[in-house]
Structure 1
Amino acid sequence: MAASCVGFVLIGALQALYGPAIPGLRQEFGLSPSAAGLGLSAHFVGGVAGVLLFDRLYGRIGNRRILGMSYVLMAVGAAGFALAPDWPLVLAAALLAGLGFGGIDYGLNQLFAVGFGHRSTAMLNILNAHFGIGAILGPALIGAVGADRYPTIFLAFALANLPLLLCLKGVRDQAPPPPTAAEEVSTAALRRSLASILTVFVALYVLHVGIEAGVGGWEPTHLETVGYGAGIAATATSVYWLMMTVGRFLVAPIALRFSAQTIITVSCAGMTACLLLAAVPTLAPYAYAGVGLFIAPIFPTGLPWLNRAAPRARRAGALVIAASMAGGVAAGPALGKVIEWSDVQAVPLLLAAVSATCLAATRWLTRATSSRPHERKGPTAAP
C-alpha cells in the first residue's frame, strides 16, 4: 500500500514535470511554444494507450507483472526524455513514459477499487491524494534546479521508480473473484440500461476532468483579466491544486459513512456553486480554491460506484480512466475555442455550465443504479 502511494506520487510528478521543463526544451531544441507542448500531448497519448493495453492484459499475465512492466516503461521513458539527442526521440520517450503512466494509473486504481471492500472509496481517495502531492512537488523541483537542468530531474525520477519493483510481492496475481449471486441478479436487471449507465459515467469523467484541467489552465489568465497581479494569480492556482489534494485526504473518513452517490452529488453541487461565485472578481481566488476542494473526490469515488453498478463490466474502469485522460487533453483547446467566441471573464460561467451537467449526470446515475430487484420486499424480507 505504501509503495502504491509512492507510485502515485511519481506519476503525479511526471505529469507535472513537462510544463515547467518547456523553457529548457525550447532552448535545447529550438522549439516554438506549441511544439514544446507536444511533449505533454505525447505523454497523454501514451497514457490512454497504456490504460487500454494493460486492460487487455489484466487478469491474464498477473497483476504483479503488469505493474512491474509499467514501472519499467515509465523509468525507461523518463530516462529517454532526459537523454534523447533530438526532438523526435524525446517525443517517443514521452510516449513510452506515458504508456507506463497509464498502466500504473489504471492498474492501481483498479486494484484499490476491488481490493478493500467497503473501504475502497476511502482508500482510492487516499491513493489519488498522493497524485496531487507529486503534482505539487514536480514543478517545485524544476523551479529549484532550473528549467535548463530538467534532464537531471527526469533521470532522478527514472531511478526513483526502480525500488518500487521490490515492493510488488504484496500484490496478488490473480484476478478479483467473480460477482456474488446477488450481484449477478442485479447485473441482469440492469443489463438493458448498462450501455446508458456506462455512457453517462464516461460523460461524467470526461466533463469533470475537463473542468479540473480548465480551471488549472485558465485560472491565472482569468484572475489577471479581472485585475489581480501575476504573482497572486499564480499563487491562487497553486492553492487550487493544493486544495484538490487536501480534499481527497479529507473525504477518506467521510467515505466510510456516506455513499459514493451522496459524496459525488454534494461535490458536483459545491463545485457548481463555487464556479458561479468565481465570476465575482472579489471572491474569485477563494472560489477557485473551493472548486479544488469539491472536485477532489469525484474521480476516486466514482470507480467503486461503477464497479458496484456494473460488476460484470470489468472493462468499464479502463474506459472511464482512458476517457478522463482524453478529457484532460481536449479541455484546453475546446475551452480556448469557446473563449475566442466569448471572453476570458466568462471562463467560470462556462465551467459552471459544464459542472451543472456533471450534477445532472450524477443524479441520473443515482436513479439508474439504485434498483435492486434481487432484494425481497414486504413482510417476508430479511431484517
Structure 2
Amino acid sequence: MRTLTVRPGAAVRPDRSFSAPAVVAACVGFVLIGALQSLYGPALPALRQDFGLSPSGAGLALSAHFVGGVTGVLAFDRTFGRIGNRALLGASYALMALGSVAFALSPNWPLALLGALVTGFGFGGIDYGLNQLFATGFGRRSPAMLNILNAHFGIGAIAGPALIGLFGADSYPSLFTAFAVLAALLLIPLGGVRDRTLTATDECPDGSDPAVRPAGTTRRTAQLLTAFVVLYVLHVAVEAGVGGWEPTHLEAVGYSTTLAASATSVYWLMMTTGRFLVAPLTLRWPEPVIIAASCAGMGACLIAAALPGLAPYAYAGVGLFIAPIFPTGLPWLKRAVPAAQRAGALVIAASMVGGVAAGPVLGKAIELSSVRMVPVVLFVLATVCLAATGWLAHATRATREAPDVTSAAVTRN
C-alpha cells in the first residue's frame, strides 16, 4: 500500500490562505476575543467584592486588556512574515489561554491585572493576525470575508454579557477558564492556515524594490496613511462613544433605565447584523462607495438621535451603518498603501487607542456642554470620517482601477 504524505496546510486552495475548517476556526476565534473583551464590564461588581476595589480600580482590568491589545498588535506586526502565520496565531491563542487562566485564578489583584494584560496581548495578535490574513487571503472576496469575520466578534461581544447575566457575575472565573480551554483548542485547526503571505516582492510584481521610492511617493504614502488613521480612530471613537454614552443620553431625554440598556444592546446587535448584510454588497460595490455611504448614514442617524422621540431607533441605525467601516477599509488600505508595510498594524492599533480615548474625551466634551449634546458631538466626528473617506476615494481612484493581483500573488506562495 502506498503511503501518502500530507504537508501542513495542504488542504488550503492554491488561491486562498485558509482551508474551510481554518475559516470556521478563525470565526470562532473572533467570537472568543469578542466575548473576552465584553466580560470585564459585567464582572466588575464581583471583581470589586473579591479584591476590595474601588470602581476605578476594578476598571483597570479592561484598561490592562486594551494596553496588552495595542502592545500585541505592534509586537506581532514586527514578527509578521518572519515566524510564519501558524506560529503567530498559535502564540496568540496560547497567550490568551494563559492570561485568561491567570485572571480567573489569581489570588491577588496585581496578578489578575497581569493576567488581563497577557490576555490582551494574545487578543491583539489574533485581532491583527486574522485581519491581516483575511485582507489578502481571499482575493476580491476579501472585503466580504472580513465583514463576516468581524461580525463574529460582535456575536461574542453580545454573548459575553449574556453569559454573565445567565450565570451571575460571580461566575467570571469559570467563564474565563472555559474560554481559555477554547483558545487552546483553536490551536488544532492552524494546520489549515497558509504559513506564508504576500511579500514586498509579491506586492510589486514588476520587480521594483518597495523600499526605494521617490520622495513624492513617500509623501503621498504618509498622506494616505494619515487619512486612514483619522478614519479609523474617529469611527471607532464614534462606535465606543455610542456604546458607552447611549444609555446616559437616553435616560437624560426621558427614557427608563431598562429601555436605555435594551436600546444599547440593540445597537451592538445591529452592528453585528450590518456586517453580515454588507458582505454580499462588497462583491458588487467598491470599498470607498460602501464606506462613504456608511459614514453618511452614520451621520444622518446621529443627527436624528438628537430628537428624543427618534433617539433609540436612530442609535440602532448608527450601529447598522458603522458596521462595515472597520473590516471593509482594511483591503482598501492594503491596496492603497502597499509601500507602508506596517499600515495595517498602525490603523488597528490606532483604532484601539480611539476606543480607549473615546470615553474620557467625550466625557470632557459633555462636561463643557450637556449630556443632550452626545449625538451632536459624535455627528462632528462622523462628518470628519466622511471628509477623510471622500479625500481617500479621490486620492486612490487610480489604485482602485488597477487589476487585482492579490490572487495571483497568493498562488505563487
TM-score range, shorter chain: over 0.9
Structure 1 residue 147 corresponds to structure 2 residue 147? no
Counterpart of 2:129 in structure 1 is 107
Counterpart of 2:18 in structure 1 is none
Counterpart of 2:408 in structure 1 is none
Whole-angstrom distance in 1 between the partners of 2:304 and 2:137? 39
Describe how 1:1-383 pairs up with structure 2 within 5 A: 1-177=23-199, 178-181=202-205, 190-371=217-398
Whole-angstrom distance in 2 between the partners of 1:192 and 1:354? 25
On the 8 A contact 2:90/2:190 being kept in 1, the answer is yes
Q: SS at the partner of 1:168?
A: helix
Query: Cα RMSD between the aligned structures?
Result: 1.7
Q: SS at the partner of 1:169?
A: helix
On the 8 A contact 1:74/1:98 being kept in 2, the answer is yes
Instruction: Give, in angstroms, the shift of residue 310 of structure 1.
Output: 1.2
Worse overlay, 70-79 or 170-179: 170-179
Identical positions, percent: 67
Q: SS at the partner of 1:267?
A: helix
Letter in 2 for 1:19: G
Counterpart of 2:411 in structure 1 is none
For each residue in 1:107-160, what CA deviation from the matched residue of structure 2 results, as whole angstroms up to 9, or x when unmatched?
Answer: 000000011111100000000000000000000001111111211111111111
For each residue in 1:177-223, what CA deviation from the matched residue of structure 2 results, as whole angstroms up to 9, or x when unmatched?
Answer: 42144696998774431101101101110000000000000000000
Instruction: Give, in angstroms, the shift of residue 311 of structure 1.
Output: 1.7
Letter in 1 for 2:143: T
Q: TM-score, normalised by structure 1?
A: 0.95
Letter in 2 for 1:54: F
For each residue in 1:217-238, what CA deviation from the matched residue of structure 2 results, as whole angstroms up to 9, or x when unmatched?
Answer: 0000000000000110000000
How many pairs were matched up? 375
Whole-angstrom distance in 1 between the partners of 2:311 and 2:400? 46
Q: SS at the partner of 2:170?
A: helix
Letter in 1 for 2:203: P
Whole-angstrom distance in 1 between the partners of 2:208 and 2:284? 26
Q: SS at the partner of 1:313?
A: coil
Cα gap change, 1:12 to 1:183, in 2 (>3 Å) = farther
Cα gap change, 1:168 to 1:138, in 2 (>3 Å) = same
On the 8 A contact 1:110/1:317 being kept in 2, the answer is yes
Counterpart of 1:380 in structure 2 is none
Whole-angstrom distance in 1 between the partners of 2:60 and 2:184? 27
On the 8 A contact 2:221/2:339 being kept in 1, the answer is no
Letter in 2 for 1:282: G
Whole-angstrom distance in 2 between the partners of 1:21 and 1:211? 24
Worse overlay, 191-200 or 233-242: 191-200
Whole-angstrom distance in 2 between the partners of 1:133 and 1:250? 14
Letter in 1 for 2:359: G
Cα gap change, 1:206 to 1:183, in 2 (>3 Å) = farther
Instruction: Give, in angstroms, the shift of residue 373 of structure 1.
Output: 11
Whole-angstrom distance in 1 between the partners of 2:85 and 2:339? 19
Cα gap change, 1:96 to 1:285, in 2 (>3 Å) = same
Instruction: Give, in angstroms, the shift of residue 368 of structure 1.
Output: 1.2
Whole-angstrom distance in 1 between the partners of 2:146 and 2:186? 19
Whole-angstrom distance in 2 between the partners of 1:184 and 1:129? 37
Instruction: Give, in angstroms, the shift of residue 176 of structure 1.
Output: 1.5
Whole-angstrom distance in 2 between the partners of 1:99 and 1:113? 21
Cα gap change, 1:303 to 1:373, in 2 (>3 Å) = closer
On the 8 A contact 1:42/1:94 being kept in 2, the answer is yes
Q: TM-score, normalised by structure 2?
A: 0.88
Whole-angstrom distance in 2 between the partners of 1:92 and 1:203? 31
Gaps of 5+ in 1: 376-383
On the 8 A contact 1:113/1:124 being kept in 2, the answer is yes
Whole-angstrom distance in 2 between the partners of 1:67 and 1:312? 24
Instruction: Give, in angstroms, the shift of residue 174 of structure 1.
Output: 1.4
Runs (4+) of structure 1 exceeding 4 A deviation are 182-190, 372-375
For each residue in 1:20-78, what CA deviation from the matched residue of structure 2 results, as whole angstroms up to 9, or x when unmatched?
Answer: 00000000011111110010000000000000000001011110000000000001101
Counterpart of 2:15 in structure 1 is none
Q: SS at the partner of 2:185?
A: helix
Instruction: Give, in angstroms, the shift of residue 162 of structure 1.
Output: 1.2
